[in-house]
Amino acid sequence: MPLDDRKLEVLRAIVEDYVATREPVGSRALVERHKLNVSPATVRNDMAVLEEEGYIRQPHTSAGRVPTDRGYRLFVDRLSKIKPLSAAERRAIERFMVGAVDLDDVVHRTVRLLAQLTQQVAVVQYPSLTRSAVRHLELVSISTTRMLLVVITDTGRVEQRVVELPGPTSDDDIAEMRRLINAQLGGRLLSETPQLVQTMVDEAEPNLRAPMASLGSVLLETLVERHDERIAMAGTANLTRNGLVDFPGSIRPVLEALEEEVVLLKLIGEVEGENATPRVRIGDENEFVDLRSTSVVSSGYGPGDTVVGGLGVVGPTRMDYPGTIATVRAVARYVGDLLAQN
């Protein structure tokens, strides 16, 4: 049975009331708080249909109705507009972010900002290495057979690794290698590096072959193979905002899942090419069982239309979707603009 407009309206009302009060909503309360111009009995009939279709359910007989994951999905897709941010929120973003001194600082501030605005758990992925370009490569001699490789990207991220050299290598040789790799790789996307590194090693002068090979393999390992993308998180305390009401059983599995960087990266890092509209995953739709009682709102961010990382929030399925989506989008844009300025 297709849902007519009034049934949709009823669903919307249920979602809104339930999110606001976190109590199952009954037919009488519904007609009182929304001007539906029909009687409770009529609403009850609509509810019966909505329940049959799986959009709402009753916790027990003789209780009101509660949206299901499917109900939230319909609500998000068809029944809600993204709330424009309030002036206060815009100001909060400005105030919070102004004066950030480096990338670490930007990420930290962003994640706390998100947590505070949405009152939920916020996660921000550091700008991904593979999607960034090399600004500069620095080699620093530590001993005769070891040197430090420092990679500086155009997103301001810095990575360092120790390179074990096959044999004693002079400072001059190191300087030459520095010149070489900067000439070859400077300005290139990290994702392009593998081939470049290969040819570079092949074309190096004989006496630099061996050390260049060591350097090359560390480079590849660091930048490409090892995808230990870093993330920052804040606001875990928000999980307990309403006691434990929002999480059936315990919040423990949720906390555990949130400590797994791998899980978070999957959650936040899998962003499509768009920065414009946040992606919403509701309850069941999550691939991680431990997060089935939560919803995730995530977005890519980056300068302009490019995506260098993801950010988002994790909260109970019973969340204020329009508000959260709007906030995530606004923050993602703001951070993108910030990165573009550098």
Binding site residues, DNA, CB under 7 A: 6, 24-29, 37-42, 44-45, 47-48, 51, 58, 60-65
Q: Which is nearer to its own copies, 170 or 199 (CB)?
A: 170
Could you say which of its own copies, DNA, none residue 171 binds, taking C-beta under 5 to 8 angstroms by partner kind?
none
Please report how close the Cβ of residue 80 comes to DNA at its closest, in angstroms: 22
Size of interface with its own copies, in residues (CB under 8 A):
34
Q: Which is nearer to DNA, 1 or 289 (CB)?
A: 1
Q: Which is nearer to its own copies, 111 or 311 (CB)?
A: 111
Please report how close the Cβ of residue 184 comes to its own copies at its closest, in angstroms: 17
Could you say which of DNA, its own copies, none residue 161 binds, taking C-beta under 5 to 8 angstroms by partner kind?
its own copies
Please report how close the Cβ of residue 70 comes to its own copies at its closest, in angstroms: 29
Q: Which is nearer to DNA, 50 or 258 (CB)?
A: 50
Please count the other Cβ atoms lying within 10 Å of the Cβ belonging to residue 281. 21
- C-alpha closest to that of 201 among 211, 193, 212: 212
Q: Which of 20, 148, 276, 340 binds its own copies (CB under 8 A)?
A: 148
Measured CA distances, 238 to 114, 244, 262, 264, 314 (Å): 12, 10, 22, 17, 10
Give DSSP secondary structure letters for 104-143.
Answer: HHHHHHHHHHHHHHHTSEEEEEPPPSTTSBEEEEEEEEEE
Cβ atoms of residues 31 and 39 within 8 Å: yes
Alpha-carbon span 292 to 16, nearest angstrom: 21
Please report how close the Cβ of residue 13 comes to DNA at its closest, in angstroms: 12
Interface positions, 116-145, toward its own copies (CB under 8 A): 135-136, 138, 140, 142
Interface positions, 157-186, toward its own copies (CB under 8 A): 158, 160-162
Residue 224: CA count within 13 A, CB half-sphere: 14
Please report how close the Cβ of residue 150 comes to its own copies at its closest, in angstroms: 6
Give DSSP secondary structure letters for 235-266.
Answer: -GGGGGTTTTTTSSS-SHHHHHHHH-HHHHHH
Please report how close the Cβ of residue 45 comes to DNA at its closest, in angstroms: 6
Alpha-carbon span 119 to 239, nearest angstrom: 9
Could you say which of its own copies, DNA, none residue 217 binds, taking C-beta under 5 to 8 angstroms by partner kind?
none
Q: Which is nearer to its own copies, 84 or 186 (CB)?
A: 186
Alpha-carbon span 38 to 34, nearest angstrom: 10
Torsion angle of C-alpha atoms 208, 214, 216, 217, degrees rounded to 10: 160
Alpha-carbon span 13 to 33, nearest angstrom: 9
Contact string 65-104 vs its own copies (x = CB under 8 A): ------------------------------------xx-x
Interface positions, 220-239, toward its own copies (CB under 8 A): 228, 230, 234-237, 239
- Using the CB atoms, write b or e for 64-76: b if 16+ within 10 Å: bbbbbbbbbbbbb
DSSP state of 304: T
Q: Which is nearer to its own copies, 53 or 138 (CB)?
A: 138
Alpha-carbon span 179 to 200, nearest angstrom: 12
Please report, as ranges, the residues that interact with its own copies according to CB under 8 A: 101-102, 104-105, 135-136, 138, 140, 142, 148, 150, 152, 156, 158, 160-162, 228, 230, 234-237, 239-241, 243-244, 250-252, 255-256, 259
